[in-house]
Every structure is written in structure tokens, then in C-alpha cells.
Structure 1
């Protein structure tokens, strides 16, 4: 890229795309949006911290009062009995969160030339993905038989996978099964089998293993969102990660639009973006290893751990080739670390 970008094109319509668009619009940068369709999560649960981050990105409070509160998390992991702990969050049914997010101000017309592209959905300029394992997930609507537990989410490990229950209303919710088929997992459950009934066959089948593009930035583009870098749902941080990617992407673009930004600096800033997301994936894989190590001792669980360790080692090898990050985020802006204080 030989000059500062004047028009930024956002390609996508997920959490990252919406948040990045709003952050750039608020900073006065000209943005065009191509709302490529993508399949959203059937249900999602947000922690208080993630909700606050979304509000900060959007510059307004999401009208969440009508959505379902989650006050407990019940965990039955490994050989341990179920344990209930306090939890503060809200749950959304299919497409509810997406419908709450503000629409972009401007759309890209056919033939419009942009100076910089933000790919928040496929296809990407760099199409090579690194996948850190293989474990299929499926989701289905469920009826809660214990309606008094409608404020509690559940996670339960089994010999060949795990199940996560998100209540989305009184007596209703969504089941996510990872590993074996959802019906098979539920039939082997110690707890959830007698608490839920699947309302209809699984409506969504998808890959849940962590994965990312081999390159997340180039001379006039960067990639973000769950199509570009996806976390394992076991950590329950997918929406928060998507928002953090948007914050970083918007900060990078704002730095690129600085008229004093040299071509050398632009290259370093884009390399910084790729490096930080690579480091985020490595941290995520380390955390996943802890969960999968304690989830069970069958061959299925051991294979997941081996795949995650290989992914961690791959990320470490890639980071060793990159320089130490020279920038930091401060008030949604990218600044040199020497001046961050």
C-alpha cells in the first residue's frame, strides 16, 4: 500500500464486522460495508465483561433487558459430580444478538474501489487455514424439563465429547454437542438426559476445533471474525474475542490513516496485527489443553489434547519468526509502547 487509505471496505456482517464498522465511523473514517451473509450461532451467552465491551465498541447500550438472565453455571466435568457456581450473564436465542446490533450507515455499491479491505467473512485473500484438531459440533433447540433451572447453564463431559446447555427462556434453550452426535451424547449423559428433551433434530452442524488463517493481514487488507480465527466454544469467549479483534482492527486502520505513517511503519503495524492474534490463539490453545486434559481420559479426550499441543507448538514457532510487538492499545488507539505510559 503506497498511500494512506481513504475508503475502508468492511466485508461481512458478524460481530467483528459490526463492531469494526461502528468504531471506524465514530472516528470519522469513511467506511463502506458489503454485508456478506454468514451463518450465526443458534444461541449465544454473554458475560457482563463481554456485554460491556460490545457497548463500548458500539458507543451505545444494547437493549438487553428483555433477554434471558443466567445466574448459575453447573459443571459436571471429568469424574466429578455436578457443581453449581454463581454466574452473571445473559442468553440470546438464534439471531437475537445480531438483530440488536446497529446497522452500518453506508453500503458499498457495485464497482466501488476501496483503498483497504477488512475481510470479516470468506472468501479471504489468504485462503490457507491452520486447524488445531477436528471435532464436529451440532446444536438443537431443547425443552427444559426442570423449568426451575431455567436460569442455569450446564456443561457436562462424556467419554466421547461434551454437552453445553444454554437456557434462552423459561423452559426452553439450546443444546450444543461436541464430539459424538448430539443424540448419542445425550443418551449417555448423567445429568442432562433427564433434564431436557430435544425439540427437533439438530439444526446446525459445524466444526468447533480452533483454527485460523495462516496470514491475517496483507499490504492492503486484514482479516477478522470467526471465519478468520475461531476459538473452541469450550471457553465460551467467542463473542468477546470477535469484539476484541474488531477493536484491534479499527485501531490498526486508524494508525494507517495517519498522514505521518510511512510505508515501513504500515508494514510493521500490519505485522503487529497478525502477531497479536497469533499470540491470542496460542493463549487460547493453552487454556483449552487444561480443559480437555481434565475432561476425560478416553482416547477421544487424549487425541484432543495432542492436537491442541501441536497447535500450541505451531503458534510458538510462528511467533519466534516475528519481532516483539512495538505497539499497545490505549483508549481504542494504537500507539508505540514507549509512549503508552
Structure 2
């Protein structure tokens, strides 16, 4: 079975690693490497990474030991032991790509595809220009920017706080720096300005020397691709979407990285079953059903958590969007 891996994100590389390990012929089309991308990996995610790739915990990551949460109005919960590692996700993917090419040189390496079309293409980048391909549960955006920690602040504890408009997450990055993120209920024209106001209204403000000077605003509502798998035809390969291209989780869950790797596991299993002559149409329908079930469960969690924190009317659309739209996702 010949498979093209169109991309070099964690989900795509994990699928390539699993397929190559099982004897499938894999060809890589890596994307240009992005800039630094802070990634917070909890123990469960690190354990999955170790199990799939056989690697130990990244040695150059910044280690956290606890998590402190103030979600509902009132005093925060006591700090919880929550071991985690903060690292550069782009650097992690580059290292895994090197490991893949070194350990499976005959099955996986950047370069031209073999003669003849591949049987499948695996990617986290769905084709654009096709309206109605996604179901997106809301309009919320994640603001993110880096700033220096104030002198003497604990750099081993991640902190979640809330205001009436947003939840905020402060993640120490090491070397006296921290990542500040805020989830707000819609698009933002001036993210750094709003992030500074939200910080000032929260109990996190004294922990930073000053607000982030620059920030980005990224769409962050849960999103499901309606057609994450298409079977091969006589003219075209089958397509499997993995990672955030298939299903995007609300960052509040903290499980997005692990779930991305799980889509890779499922995609590799689908290709293996197709090679064993299970009808591809049935496998693609099963793949879509599994993702839909996971998405529905995620929306249920969001619908339970968000109303506890945000009585503000500006959040009403997001709370309504957490409801499942019925028996069909056809637009």
C-alpha cells in the first residue's frame, strides 16, 4: 500500500511512522517549518508520545509540576499536582521527522513519489474552497502573547483564571518568560490591547512584569470536518484528514495534541484494514462516525463547563453553539 503524507505536523508524522513500521510504502511531502510554537504536554500525552514513538520525555522542555485553577466565581481551587512539559512544538516535529527518516530510510523520506498514484493521501490540511465542509461550534477566538514573569514568581505552576468575559491561562515557558492566553467569545480587532485589559481584570496581573506587547487572535471554537475520509477511486487516491484538519478541540480541554495523535492511529489502522481488502467505503464511514462521536462528547463537556464561568450575555452564542445540531451535520 502506497501512502503520501502531505504535511509534517505531529498527526501526519505519527501516521507516517505507524504506516512505515507496518511495511507500507510512505512518501513525505513536508510543509515549510513554522516558527516556534509553545506546546503544553501533560503526562497522559507524553505517555502516548513515548508509546507511539519510543522516545523519552523531551530533555529541553520546561517542566511544570502543578496547576492552579479559578474557573467559577469565588476563590481558586487548591493547587493540583499536574506534571507537564512545555516545549516548542515545531522543534518536536522536526526531530520526529528526522527520526522517521533515519529509522525508516527505505519507507519514508522526503522526495518524489514513486511511479503511479498513491492509494491514500494523509494530511492535516483539508482542501479549501468547499463551503459547508466543516461544522464549527461557535465563534470564539484565542488570544496569545508572551511576556516576562515578574521577579520571584513561581515558574513551575500553570494557572487558569477567569473574568466575566474570558478565561485566561498563564503558562511559564522557562527563562523568565510566560505565555498568556485568553479565550473570548468572538473575533478581535486589536488582540494585544484586549489581552492587556483582560489581564488587568484578572488575578494573574501581578505575576507578569507587563502585559504582552504583541498578540495574535486565532479561531479556536471546536470544529469537525464533515467528510474527513474519502475512499480511493480509479483516478484519485483516498484522502484521510488527521489532527486539527479533521477535528479541532477547544483549548480548554488540554487534550488537543493527544487527540491529534489518536486520529493518526485511527487513520493508520484504516489504511491497514483497506490493504487487507476491507471495503474502503465502509472504513471511511466508520472513521467519520468515530470522529463525530468524539466531537459530540467534546461539545457536551463544553456545554457543561462554560455556563459555570460565563453568565455574561456576550457568551450566549457560544453556549448555544455547544448544543449538538440534531441528527444530521449537513450544514
TM-score, normalization: structure 1? 0.82
Number of residues of Structure 1 aligned to a counterpart in Structure 2:
304
Give me the whole-angstrom Cα distance separating, in 2, the residues matched to 1:313 and 1:231: 17
Does structure 1 conserve the Cα–Cα contact (< 8 Å) formed by 2:34 and 2:90?
no
Residues 262-320 of structure 1, C-alpha deviations (whole Å, 9 max, x = no match): 5xx321111111110111111111111122111121112333211111xx234xx148x
Q: 1:238 to 1:135 in 2, by over 3 A?
A: same
Q: Distance in 2 between matches of 1:87 and 1:238?
A: 17
Q: Is the counterpart of residue 71 in structure 1 residue 74 in structure 2?
A: no
Query: Which residue pairs with 1:81 in the alignment?
Result: 75
Give the match for residue 327 of structure 1: none
**1:21-75: CA deviation from partner (whole Å, max 9, x where unpaired):** 11111111100111124757832111111111112222x2145133111111111
8 Å CA contact retained: 2:67, 2:157:
yes
For residues 72 and 239 of structure 2, the distance between their equivalents in structure 1, rounded to whole angstroms, comes to 43
Equivalences for residues 285-324 of structure 1 within 5 A: 285-309=299-323, 312-314=324-326, 317-318=327-328
Which of 212, 225, 232 aligns to 1:213? It is 225
Structure 2 CA distance, aligned partners of 1:41 and 1:225? Answer: 19
| Secondary structure at the counterpart of residue 306 of structure 2 | helix
Cα RMSD of the aligned pairs, angstroms, is 2.3
Query: Does residue 1:135 correspond to 2:130, yes or no?
Result: no
Distance 1:161 1:38, change over 3 A: farther
Of the candidates 84, 87, 97, which is equivalent to residue 92 of structure 2?
97
Counterpart in 2 of 1:241? 259
1:157 equivalent in structure 2: 162
2:122 equivalent among 98, 101, 118: 118
- Counterpart-to-counterpart distance in 2, 1:88 and 1:11: 33
Q: Which runs of 5+ in 1 are unaligned?
A: 1-5, 322-341
Q: 2:243 aligned with 1:225, yes or no?
A: yes
- What displacement does 1:108 show? 4.4
TM-score w.r.t. structure 2 length?
Answer: 0.85
CA change 1:31–1:110 in 2 (3 A) is: closer
- The alpha carbon displacement at 1:234 in A equals 0.6
CA positional deviation for 1:126? 6.3
1:57 aligns with 2:52: yes
Structure 1 CA distance, aligned partners of 2:36 and 2:322? Answer: 23
Cα distance in 2 for partners of 1:135, 1:85 equals 28
TM-aligned CA distance change 1:237 to 1:75, over 3 Å: same
How has the CA–CA distance of structure 1 residues 118 and 306 changed in structure 2, closer, same or farther, with 3 Å as cutoff?
same
Q: Which runs of 5+ in 2 are unaligned?
A: 102-108, 189-193, 232-237
